Amino acid sequence: MDGHLSACNWSARLIADVALGVLAAAVCVAAVKAQDKALRQLVDAGQQLQAEGRYVEAESLLQSALNQAKASSEPLAIARTMNYLGVVKHTRGDYSAAEALYRSATETCERNPAPLDLAAVLLNQARLAGAEGKFDQAEALCKKTLDIYRARLGPDHSNVADTLDVLGWIEMRLGHYQDAESTYLQSVAIRRKTEPPEELAASGTLNDLGFLQYSLGRYAQAEETYRRALIIRQNVLGSGHPDVADTMVRLADLYRATHQFSKAERLLEKAMLILQEALGPEHTRVANASNNLGVLYCDERRLDEAAPLFRRALDIYQNAFGRDHFQVAAVLSNLALVQTEKRAYQDAKDLYSRALAIMERSGGPDHPDIAAVANNLGQINSFEGRYEDAEKLYLRAIGIWERSLGPAHPDVAGCLFNYAATLRKVHRKQEATQLEARARQSLALHDRENPAGSLVDWRELQRRAK
């Protein structure tokens, strides 16, 4: 087990959630009530194009709608149209333009009191802040939005569920997995009550809940949840929509983690084509798929194929977010894995050091993502004979993972095995045997808690959410 690189799995999970920061087609804003019929038609047509994944055309129409709204001088019509256009800009990766539009719309809604319109803009600002790695800001915006929606619409409105979905993703990124699970289950319970059921909105909740289940090592549950989301999205949006591709990327990463490599590769290659055609080759969602395909090749020791995919993802993320974004840190970690496999240990350590600094600024010193880096740095130190340093890193990783993921997670077991291998090198065989026994107990507990073929029971989820 000395060569076990469990963080390759973790890095893929970290990267895979980038799509969560991207907006779904629907936007929770009150219908435009401007007198101008032409404006309403432009907005409706733009939103329809957005829902179909035709973002360039949607942006053009909504820009025309904004120009027309400004000519009407009706403040709330302008604010709403700014928000609609901001969503398309955000979806296309133009974050600075989206931020400016959201900011102007917020100021207008505050000057011309319209609580529901304000809440809609605040929620989109939260999504954008989350995508940019500003998690504390995003969390505050979500909670403000929740207060407005619950006060104005009641606790079981679909807008409340939409906000809970965004909050759940932010809580995951902060490493608060138990809070995130509770948040998603509240959203599931609300979605189940809506009549008629809002299938497309529910698919977004399922997509995120599946990622949480995957992150917690509940692979059978996650697969079933992803499959439900994928079926809904394919039925409603069609097989070539980028949101369908995002779910395919998630499901593929699950297959990779469970060593179903050929299934994972087919899904990732198909998803990459869909995303490139819909969004262009330099979009962050393309970077996500590129990185995850690189992780798959890394797991298969196809290092010469993995490295260019990581570098492509890194270039896209750095161009979109700058050099200090949490997604950049994840790809740096994956590039470090390639260097480790090539025994270029100093290059790997340099990459990990940069990634670690970004992660600690983004999520704090005890974030679960940091455990993956600590584990892999521990291995490098062990390879180099720096056994005391390796031990400290393994202990840090185990402590973080056990607190955030629980003792029955596969990453905990993998790190325990790595630590045991290091102890054997320094002839601490009894301690190593104890750690190996603990790792096997962890895996056995995981298997008992997550039996193969277990499905998501929606009635149980609803009951737990109450």
pLDDT, tens digit, 9 for 90 and up, residues 15-72: 333 333 334 333 434 444 445 788 889 999 999 999 888 999 999 999 999 999 998 8
The pLDDT of residue 97 is: 96
- The dihedral over CA atoms of 58, 61, 63, 66, expressed in degrees to the nearest 10, equals -120
Cβ-contact 364, 326 below 8 angstroms = no
User: The tokens of 288 are what?
Assistant: 């996500």
Q: How many CA atoms lie within 13 A of 344 on its CB side?
A: 12
Q: Where are the beta strands (DSSP E) in 334-412?
A: none
Mean pLDDT of all residues in 368-377: 93
Cβ-contact 225, 191 below 8 angstroms = no
Q: Among 193-207, 243-257, 373-387, 403-417, where is mean pLDDT lowest? A: 193-207
The pLDDT of residue 192 is: 85
Cβ-contact 172, 132 below 8 angstroms = no
The pLDDT of residue 95 is: 92
Tell me: cis bond preceding 308? Omega within 30 of 0 counts.
no
158-173 and 135-153 are packed helices; what angle lies between their axes, rounded to 10 degrees? 160
Q: Which residues contact 412 (CB under 8 A, 6 or more apart)?
A: 398, 401, 402, 405, 406, 439, 442
The Cα angle at residue 31 between residues 27 and 37, in degrees rounded to 5: 125
Q: Give 293 or 35, the one with higher predicted confidence.
A: 293
Q: Among 105-114, 188-197, 366-375, 455-464, where is mean pLDDT lowest? A: 455-464
Confidence of residue 193 (pLDDT cuts 50, 70, 90): confident
Residue type (1 letter), 133: G
